[in-house]
Amino acid sequence: MNDYIELEGADGVPLRFRLNSDLADLPAMAGNFVCVRRKDGALDVICAGAAGSLQSAAKAWKAAKDKGAEAMYVRLNVAGATRTQELESLVERYRPPQVISEGATG
């Protein structure tokens, strides 16, 4: 997997995410995250989430991995309203089977 990916939400805005290859390195900062796999040469979003602390995304990763996710990517974003908007746009575009929103508006 690449160190960075760019996903475009339903609103057409591209969002850049950074690979997180070690759960112990998840930042305590707020942000959005996605768990993805490669499918037919494209990224398939298994899980999309927003969290007041990205460390809480570790639980989501375990469930997403059971559903075939190969990598987790994070996007730091302190503004709660922006996290929520980005998550809603990603969910509308990719329709992931797993959506997590923990402290998204905080």
Res 63: pLDDT = 93
Domain boundaries of the chain, sorted by first residue: 4-102
Q: State which fold the 4-102 domain adopts.
A: GIY-YIG endonuclease (3.40.1440)
Under a CB-based contact definition with an 8 Å cutoff, are residues 1 and 44 in contact? no
Q: What is the CB neighbour count within 10 angstroms for residue 89?
A: 19
Does this model's pTM top 0.85? My answer is yes
For residue range 47-71, list pLDDT tens digits in order: 999 999 999 999 999 999 999 999 9
For residue range 17-53, list pLDDT tens digits in order: 999 999 999 999 999 999 999 999 899 999 999 999 9
Tokens 């959005």 correspond to: 32
Tell me the two tokens of residue 16: 């850049």
* DSSP summary character for residue 60: H
pLDDT band at 105 (very low <50, low <70, confident <90, very high): very low
CA distances from residue 45 to 4, 73, 79 in whole angstroms, order as listed: 15, 11, 23
